[in-house]
Each structure stands twice: as C-alpha cells, then as structure tokens.
Chain A
Amino acid sequence: MSVLVNKNSKIIVQGFTGSEGTFHAEQMIEYGTNVVGGVTPGKGGQKHLDRPVFNTVADAVKETGADVSLIFVPPAFAADAIMEAADAGIKVIITITEGIPVADMVKASNYIKNKDTRLVGPNCPGVITPGEAKVGIMPGFVFKKGNVGIVSKSGTLTYEAADQVVKQGLGITTAIGIGGDPIIGTTTKEAVELLMNDDDTEIIVMIGEIGGQLEADAAQWVKENGNRKPVIGFIAGETAPAGRTMGHAGAIVGGSEDTAQAKKKILKENGIHVVDSPAEIGKKVAEVLKG
C-alpha cells in the first residue's frame, strides 16, 4: 500500500502548457505516472504531451475522471487554481508553486476546509510513491520502493534522506513533501497520521525545520496514539539566527518555542528518535529497524 498517490491515481497538471508544467509533466510521464491531461485556461481542446488540455478543472474531471491535481500555476494565480481544483471535486491537490501571497492562502485554506479534498503544499516538492506515481518535481531515481515513510518540509533534504535510506538497503512507501510556507494544506501531523495508518509503512522519517509548531503537534499526536511505529526526527536550522527568514517563507524563529532546539526537545519527550546530524538519518532508520 501507499498513501495519497498510487498507480491508479488519475493525475492532471494545472499550468500544463507552461515551461515548468511541461518539463515536469514530461518527467512524470517518463516515470510511469498516470498523467491523464492538464488545464490551461484558453487552451482547451488542444493536445499537449499527447494528452488533452482543458479550459477548466471541472471539464478535466468530467472527461478524464481525474482525482489528483498538480499545480504549477504562477504565484499570483495559484490560490485561485487550488480553489478551482477543490470546487471541481479533486481529492488530492498538490501545489508546487512557491511565493503565493499569505493573504491568498488564508482565503484558499479556508475555502477548502469544508470540501472533500486534501491540499499538499504549497511550496513543496510533491508526493512520490516509488514505482507507482511521481507527482512533483523530485528526481524519481533516488526513491526505491520499501517500507519507510517520509514526511518533510524541504525538497532537497527529502532527496538526501531518501538517498541515505536507500543506501542502507531500504526503500520508501511514500514520501510526502508538505512544503515550507507559513500556511500549508497537509500538516506534519496529518502526513504522519496517514503513514501511521498505512500497513506497508514500518517506520517514519519526519524532517522539520525552524518556525511554527507543526513538528511539536505531530510528536504529541504520535505519543498520544501509543507510538505505534518508530519515528525518526530531524529538525534543520539549529544555527539559524532569530528573526530571519531562511529561504522558506515559514522558516523563521519568532519565539523560543520554534527554535530547532525546542522542537528537538519536544520530539524526544514524545518518543521520537531524534538525530542531530543530517548525515545520520539513514543510519538511524536502519539501526532502529534492526532494534
């Protein structure tokens, strides 16, 4: 099994014909992902990468039965694209776009709250279930199939973690990039919960960073639910100064509670296996699995 996306997912790309959308859709198709079409307003009726282009997400859903959408729409229009996907009945909306105004995301996240949909991102690398579906911008070859679930706020750090896990002779069920913005759809806790309830996932890697309370919330949930599976935790940004945004819009230390040190402490208190060195994530996974 896996979570969020699999070989049966019917995926559309919003912002399909743009340069980013085109490049990554091509890579996804090459990987074997079931991309059934895309949306670019005004280009409906055309073919792109051998797949149909639609004017609206509703049209795409009607014609293809799409249930997953990947968004590459530019920042100024991305929140609208998220709401359009939710309105059209898309079940999983994965948003890669970086730089969406916060006020737009306040609106969008409120809008989708009562809809039967799940948003992943924005500002994330996407979601991959190795061997089945790559829905995002990650390099597919790094991820081999296995029993380790990954949840991460960061792109390249996810690849790094996956690579370390694979070099230990292990593999990944699903890797979920939840994104580094102040407002994101799927939280660390929700992503961990999905993997905790996935039969094939034996162990979870949770990668966080400074800013916000998401990792602490997830850690508390893990403990309240009886630490059913081991969780390996890493928090980036121990050396980041307070009050400065470190690349990701959400990666900023505001108070004493959102420092890396404070988060690691809470993780440890809740039975998470915390690694201090980002070079030891894979090793720790193997160690804990062997018991």
Chain B
Amino acid sequence: MNIHEYQGKEILNSFGVRIQRGIVAHNATEAVNAAKELTEQTGTGWHVIKAQVHAGGRGKGGGVKLAKNLKEVEEIAGDIIGMNLVTPQTSAEGKKVHQVLVAEDVYYPGDSETSEIYMSVLLNRATGRNMIMYSTEGGVDIESVAEKTPHLIFNEEIDPTVGLLPFQARRIAFNLGLSGTAFKEMVKFVTALYTAFEKSDSSLFEINPVLKTSDDKILAVDAKVTLDDNALFRHKDYAEMRDIREENPTEVEAKEVGLNYVDLDGNVGCMVNGAGLAMATMDLIKQAGGEPANFLDVGGTADAKRVEEAFRIILKDEKVEAILVNIFGGIVRCDRVAQGIVDAYKNLGDKINVPIIVRLQGTNADIAKELIDNSGLKIHSAVEFQEAADKVQEVLS
C-alpha cells in the first residue's frame, strides 16, 4: 500500500528518524496557520509547500515550491491545492491535489555545505534479504545515476538473524564521505531507518534526498514509503492511512467485492482464474490484435455471483469492445462456471452490450460448451486457448 509523504514521515519519526518537519493543510488558510505554527516550533523563516499525491517527480510538475513569507504560503498553497498535478509518474490528466505539506526550510546557510544523499531500503529478491541502497548523488533521478555513474551507488545487505550491525552503519557513513558530527548523525539516522523499515513491515523506503544540513544534521527531506499489504493485519493504524482518492475508483470497488482487478487502457476486457493465466490471456489478446482493458483474477470460486460482479466491473470501462472469459476448471467444474455465466448474463440483461467470448477448459469443458451454446445467449464459446484468441480477432474485425 502506498501512503503520502507526510504519513511516511510520521512513521519514520515514530522510530526516531530525523525528518524535515511539517504540518498538513487542506486549504490556503490552514496552510498559513500551519506555517505560523511551524515557525514557532522550528524557527524556520521560509516554508516549502509540497503537494501530497501518490506520485514521484512532484517538483517537476510544479507541486513543490518555496514560500519566503506568509503571503507566498497563502498564494502557493492556494494554487497547488485543487490543481491537477502532472508529473513524469502520473497520467496525462495528472492527479488532483487535496492537501499540501507545509514544511520547514532545511537548506538554510551555515558553517558547512549542504549535500543531498539518496537512500532506499528494499528487499533483494535474489538473496531473500533486505538491503540499503545509497548514493552520494541524491536529489536526482536514481535511475539515471544507475545508468551514468553506477559506481556511485552502494548496497549494504542485512543478515536477518542479527539485523543492521554497527560496522555496516559506519561503512555507509564512510562511503558517503561524511566525518565529524555528520558521520555520527548518519550512523544514528541509518540505524533508526532500518529499525523503522523492519518494525513497520514496509516493502520499500525511498528517501530522496536525505539531507546533510549546513549544521551537520542528517534528515529525511522526502519519504516514499510502501507498506506490505500482507502485513497490514498487524498494523491497524497504518491500514487507516489508506487514501482511496489516490486509487482508481473501479479498482477500489473491485477490491471491495474481493476481485483482483487492475485497470488498463485497452479495448478487450478479460476475466480469468489465476494471476499467471490472466497475464497470459492479456498477452494473447494483444497477439490477436486487441489491447487488454484490464487484469482480472476471479480466483478459485468462479460462481454466478462473482462472475456477475466481474462483468459489472469490466463493463464500467466504456472503452471495452469485447470481453474474453478464460477459465481453466480444475477443482471448479466448468459446467458450474458456465451456469454462473449464463445466470450472470441474464441478470445483467441489457447492460451487456458487447460481444462475449467464453473459453472454458478442464473438468466438464464439453458439457459447459453445450450449456452455453444452448443458452440462446449471444456468447461465443471456445474450448482451446487459440480458438478463444481467434474469436477475439473475429469480433474485433
């Protein structure tokens, strides 16, 4: 589950990770009050107004701006809240901004130069262990650093039996070229950061940048935190951080009825049992000349109710010109799935206005085909996988 920057920072802070402090505001007036309060708390003169949406590259789209006085805070917050923020990671329409984080300015001048560091914590799938990935090249797109100067990216892998060891934390601080107070601060920072990662059951922390301030503090200026969905059962407080306004409404609805659905841009909807077969079906749709409109795994129990829900969800997408149902009946018998489809079709009646191709394979596939062929409904049936693809091609042309 993705959460907002301010929520990620709250989690980090709760484990002792130093952060750029800030207060959330939902309108310009709240932003001004937040700025005043923040000045009282931190002594900051300037403020950074940051759009809170689930997308990276917010600065590039004009979603992060510096305000040098309260009037600017009011203006900038007013401009950003309500805008459709377009970043390299959003669609062309962008994402509507509902709230901003009014944050302290941490780039103030002082005795030493500020420097920006990149740091992330994530699972190394190849070894089954967590690792800290870091670089002296913070504040920029890490993919381009990886491409142009891969020697500037370091990894520190953590043994789950003992956790992050002090010498590893020191190695990170040394590799980042830090000394004196900043060195000690970094050791503290990275130790707290890893504790936070483990204790919060996160699957990704990306802190870009981590800032060394001009007075040698180390703090998280940004925080991209992704929580492990499978572990939310033991973090009820984090589960409440979900912001469904950031999600695709159809996907939210599908989730509520227990369907695994991902919205895509194509013209052929699909309903499949099993994630691997669903992806393969999407690929076959493309090879048949269409474009998949969605990923949808109905799971092991493809009964009439679930099939009907799945049809409803797919039909919400107006771009859909045809629907391919691909079920491999194993333990679930195909004839029962077929009955489910026929019942669902009858219940939905006129709502189904696109051709439907049903391919049922496995237990009782032949009986299922007969059932569908004799139903009098406008359903194209198939048994073999290729046959289904051919029918898709046929109805599209």
Binding site for B on A (CB under 8 A): 27, 75-76, 99-107, 109-110, 137-139, 141-142, 152-160, 163-164, 180, 182-183, 207, 209-213, 217, 234, 236-241, 244-251, 255, 260, 276-280
Contacts and interface: CB of A to CB of B under 8 A. Distances in A.
A279 B284 contact: yes
Nearest to A236: B279
A120 B266 CA distance: 36
B286 A238 contact: yes
Nearest to A234: B280
B151 to A, nearest CB: 18
A279 B391 CA distance: 14
Contacts of A280: 386
Interface in B345-386: 361-363, 384-386
B230 A236 contact: no
Interface in B270-288: 272-287
Nearest to B147: A256
B231 A156 contact: no
B264 interface: yes
B161 A279 contact: no
A106 B385 CA distance: 38
Given A139-B331, A247-B276, A278-B385, 7 more contacts: A109-B128, A154-B274, A159-B362, A160-B385, A182-B125, A239-B286, A280-B386
Contact of B279 (A109, A182, A210, A212): A210
Contacts of A238: 282-283, 286
A246 B285 contact: no
B389 A246 contact: no
Contact of A247 (B201, B292, B295, B330): B295
Nearest to B158: A106
A189 to B, nearest CB: 11
B137 interface: no
B255 interface: no
A154 B389 CA distance: 21
A226 B313 CA distance: 49
Contacts of B295: 240, 246-247
A234 B385 CA distance: 15
B363 A139 contact: yes
A22 B317 CA distance: 40
Interface of B: 123, 125-126, 128-130, 143, 159-161, 198, 201, 203, 228, 230-231, 233-234, 260, 262, 264, 266, 272-287, 291-292, 295, 297, 328-331, 361-363, 384-386, 389
A246 B294 CA distance: 10
7 contacts: A102-B203, A106-B130, A138-B330, A157-B280, A160-B280, A209-B276, A213-B126
A242 to B, nearest CB: 10
B233 to A, nearest CB: 6
A156 B160 contact: no
B283 A110 contact: no
Interface-central residue, A99, A104, A244, A247, by most chain B CB under 10 Å: A247
Contact of A101 (B231, B260, B275, B278): B231
Nearest to A217: B126
A109 B363 CA distance: 36
Nearest to A177: B276
Contacts of A76: 233-234
A237 B279 contact: yes
A27 B272 CA distance: 24
B125 A156 contact: no
B228 A101 contact: yes
A9 B297 CA distance: 33
Contacts of A100: 230
A211 B279 CA distance: 12
Given A102-B123, A138-B330, A154-B274, A107 B160 contact: yes
